[in-house]
Amino acid sequence: MHRKLRLASHVLAALIAAPAAAQDNADAGKRLFRACQGCHTLAAERHMTGPSLAGLFGRRAGSLESFKRYSPAMRQSGLVWDAGTLDKFLADPQAVIGGNWMTFPGIADAEERAKLIAYLRTASAAAQPARPLLPSLKALEPRFVVTAVRLCGDTYFVTTGDGAMKPFWEFNLRFKTNSTSEGPLPDKPAILRAGMMGDRATIVFSAPGEISRFIEVKCG
């Protein structure tokens, strides 16, 4: 009788511990995924540097038509994502698909890979809200809207909607584009501070063609 009671108590303890262990693994996997969030989202069709991981399991590598930045090696790999292929790839991406453009070096710890894969299996299958990746650049205060850019020698002179003009050394001013729904309106590029001292900035245009149209090469 005592032996049966001890066995029953062990079984009960195991049943109680199992959900807690599963939750711990899920929490650990979610924490590990934070390292991936700089390049990937779990929202369908919401891409960053890397493709969305929504619906990852069972998908052929390099097959999302809406993502244009796959390497030829990834597109031609023929790999289908499941727990096994993900484990090998996350351990050493270049060893599995040589020449792919992913800069991630891999996760050496097998237990950490297992926890991350377990989290991805659940999270990638669930519908995630497609939250904006960046603050909207469409409704900005005039001081953040560029009205003119003039280049003289090695200096850009940037005029904004509030009438202010500021010079930037050419190496300290970056030009970018954002064609998404969060990007600026056509012909209303946004200027964003990019340095602690205010001597560096980024001008974001809605399309590449605007860049050359906006820059006037003129001194005086």
Name the band, by pLDDT with cuts 50, 70 and 90, for residue 198.
confident
Count of CB atoms situated within 10 Å of the CB of 69? 11
CATH 1.10.760.10 domain position(s) in the chain: 2-123
Task: Give CA–CA dist 187/161, Å, rounded.
Answer: 12
Residues 6+ apart with CB under 8 A from 195: 172, 201
- Taking the C-alpha atoms of residue 111 and residue 1, their distance in angstroms, rounded to an integer, is 39
Tell me: pLDDT of 127 over 90.
no
- What is the pTM assigned to this prediction? 0.67
Per-residue pLDDT tens over the stretch 46-100: 898 999 999 999 999 999 999 999 999 999 999 999 999 999 999 999 999 999 9
Question: What is the CATH architecture assignment of 2-123?
Answer: Orthogonal Bundle (1.10)
Query: How does DSSP classify residue 23?
Result: H
What angle do the packed helices 110-123 and 2-33 form, to 10 degrees? 80
| Averaged pLDDT, 10-24 | 48
**Distance from C-alpha of 214 to C-alpha of 216, rounded to nearest angstrom:** 6
What are the backbone dihedrals phi and psi of residue 11, each rounded to the nearest 5 degrees, phi first? -60, -45
- pLDDT at position 176, please? 95
Per-residue pLDDT tens digits for 136-171: 888 899 999 999 999 999 999 999 999 999 999 999
The tokens describing 60, both together, are: 């052929």
Who wins on pLDDT, 82 or 194? 82
What number of helices (H) and strands (E) belong to the chain?
6, 7
- Distance, first Cα to last Cα, the chain: 100
